[in-house]
Amino acid sequence: MRKSFLFLTVFAAVSLSAAEVIIDRYGQFKKLDFPGKVTDDAQLKADIEADKVYYASFKRPERTFWGGLPGSKEKYGLKATGFFHLEKIKALNNREMLVDPEGNLYFHIGMCSTQPGNEFTRVTGREQIYEWLPAEQGKFKPARLGVTASFYIANWIRKFGSFDRAQWQGVMLERCRQLGFNSHAAFTSIFGDNLKYGFAVTPCIERFQRLQPFRKVNEKFIDPFDEYNIPLLEKAFERTTKRYKGKPEVIGYYTENETFYTTVISDIFRCTKPMKVKQHLAGFMKERYKNNIAAFNKNWNSAFQSFNEIVTAELKANTPAANRDAAAFEELFFETYYKLVRNTLNKLSPGHLFLGERFLMGQTHNSAVMKAMGKYCDIFSINYYADEFSHEDMERIYNICKRPLLLSEWSYGANTQGLYGVKNVENQDERGKAYRRYAENAAASPYVIGHQYFALLDESNTGRGWENFDGERFNLGIVNVCDRPYKDFLKHVSIANNNTYDVIEGKVKPAALTLRKAVKAEKRILPIGKVKPNSKVDGDRAKYPGRPGTVIDRSVEGKNVNTADIICGWDNDYFYILYTVPDDTPATNDHKRHVCLGDGVEMFFGADLTTTGRMQPGDRQLLIRANQYTEPEYLWSVNGGNLKKALTPKRFCKIASDRKSWSMEVAVPWKELGITPKTGLKFRFDTAVVLSTKRIDERGDKLVWNGLEENYCCRDYWGTVVLED
């Protein structure tokens, strides 16, 4: 969540006219009423005593200094090493668990962002939407940082008269401990003497590639085959690890956050510089093909005279055989990379664990990376946002990486005070129940050693500060912008956290999961015929072959109330598709940063029929928003990489006169897809329709022809198109 999450929000159905005040002096939505809304400073001051009584009311079971299980050292024969470490516990079905420095069983229950930061919002340039802003000097100075401001800190100053980071963090840690949390999590700076709280830490060495003049294969990955990078990596890691060397409070280190791995090998293939990684690639292929360059050329559709030419040549893995070769080298690359990372961490900070890279759930279809990371990390960390905890997900991930799992980021939200969450429920009580189901089932899973909740504070109503005005703004926190606790939420949080060790030992059953019928991908085939000669992109259905449209009614959210219709065609230049979508809020999509929350369409193309797993070199993803703007409104991804504006398809969009539907026609150039059309050709394909609601900051539904929400990360879920006359 330090980077923008996939689904971003904008202001909640609010007009940003120049004269309108949207946010009141306390950082709340001015026109939104809700129970507990603050209207004067006296209410904040009265909260001081009320908070003492409230947080003291949570009665916690006995815990060790680090938040472990008392007596478990003797009960399970665990070791005290002075550091957090892993042990397999025979009496718990040989489950691998964390053990704290004193030798007690420890399940990690972390809180992300136990510091100010996420709640700051950019105010410069839109001062008129705020009823009041903290001054850059004087007592409210801590609430200002450059062009941003924190209404939360301003309210803390109103409440207590001043703001000191170390003192504030101490108060928040005591609150967290009362609620059953036992550790800092990611994105935390430590103020004051952390050891007195017994809160463990998991530092993240994020974006270290920017700290030294590395020789890199792309923006995110250094060349692990180049010895020049080894001392530079030590210098980069030293900046973070030097303050933690020998400290018992450190569980271990992350070395990145939410990285995309899908284009690394393609970037290496495109490189024409004689880098060490290209030299190893040439040697790898030479050995793989037993020095038979003719066999290599046949599989790669190339014309090299020797394997040495690969070093300075651009490679394109556009055949199934080439993709298999690329996958094999990918595994070698990442094994070499993570071995270097692990060895460097062990050298600089011995005794501390390597926690992996806070993997995105969508990247778990890249088994090559997971296997390589699992070979060298101690714990595999994954940012696991889910509508419901899934034991099947945990088993699948563990079976690939073969390491115990840390669920390094997750949360639920409820739009009770104007903010949505990443995953949403109806109200704060349901939010707490969702937390309890997730946390207790995580404790029950034999593969999980802990979880980290994101985050301590709500994000700002007007977007977190380092993003552009309308950035990520989620209901995440245990308190709101006025430091008032979400009591209906926290009563369940406390129960879940306090039940953790009883669940692990089998004394208490985890909260029952809400069973839902899973939406599964199908194996559909779509035959499409030629359009009439000289066809234009104008929304006219008459150009298509005389066939009925194909109904799309498979909701990835299981709603089963919406439908759409598509009809496809082709000629020698374009793939054509016409969407017709019933919709009471037709063609509504004003999201400047992502199309996924408003009306729009999504398409996937892949010439390779056989390769499974993640998107392959040559695969394409296209997203187009459904509105009537004149500027290009598309996002284009190649090989599963980051979405960017790089393609201009022909496009036509219109709203029905009764405003009960919208239609959009798109013609995608074959040359952009890397596909040569001919009768009888088959290729992988899927498409989805996204629907808006009357609110502009939530998705109403998403309908997919064949696959799942995860189409962007796993081509197994796509169907097949057959070109006919």
Tens digits of residue pLDDT in 459-481: 999 999 877 666 788 999 999 99
Query: What does the pLDDT read at residue 545?
Result: 87
Peptide bond connecting 455 to the previous residue in cis, omega within 30 degrees of 0: yes
Structure tokens at 264: 């690394």
Domains, the chain: 49-116+162-203+357-504 (3.20.20.80), 217-243+261-348 (no CATH), 525-723 (2.60.40.1190)
**Is the predicted pLDDT of residue 578 greater than 60, yes or no?**
yes
546 against 400, higher pLDDT: 400
- Name which of 267-276, 445-454, 614-623 the model is least confident about: 614-623
Closest C-alpha to 668, from 584, 578, 607:
578
Containing 381, the helix (H) or strand (E) segment is strand 380-383
Pairing of strands 108-111, 105-106: unpaired
Residue pLDDT, tens place only, 298-352: 999 999 999 999 999 999 887 889 988 998 999 999 999 999 999 999 999 999 9
Instruction: Return the DSSP state at 712.
Output: G
Q: Which amino acid is at 6?
A: L
**Is the predicted pLDDT of residue 19 greater than 60, yes or no?**
no
If pLDDT is split at 50, 70 and 90, which confidence band does 526 have?
Answer: very high
If pLDDT is split at 50, 70 and 90, which confidence band does 422 have?
Answer: confident
Q: Is 138 exposed, middle or buried (0-12, 13-18, 19+ CB in 10 A)?
A: exposed
User: Among residues of the chain, what percentage have pLDDT more than 70?
Assistant: 93
pLDDT (average), residues 67-76? 98
319 against 375, higher pLDDT: 375
Containing 665, the helix (H) or strand (E) segment is strand 661-669
Intra-chain end-to-end CA distance of the chain, in Å: 48
If pLDDT is split at 50, 70 and 90, which confidence band does 8 have?
Answer: very low
**Is the predicted pLDDT of residue 683 greater than 70, yes or no?**
yes
Contact 64, 182 (CB under 8 A): no
pLDDT (average), residues 75-93? 98
**Is the predicted pLDDT of residue 539 greater than 60, yes or no?**
yes
pLDDT (average), residues 603-617? 88
pTM to 2 decimals?
Answer: 0.87
152 against 649, higher pLDDT: 152
Task: Tokens 């609150």: give the residue.
Answer: 175
If pLDDT is split at 50, 70 and 90, which confidence band does 639 have?
Answer: low
CA pair distance 683, 673, nearest whole angstrom: 11
**Is the predicted pLDDT of residue 28 greater than 90, yes or no?**
yes
Instruction: Return the DSSP state at 719.
Output: E
pLDDT (average), residues 75-89? 98
- Name which of 400-404, 516-520, 540-544, 655-659 the model is least confident about: 516-520
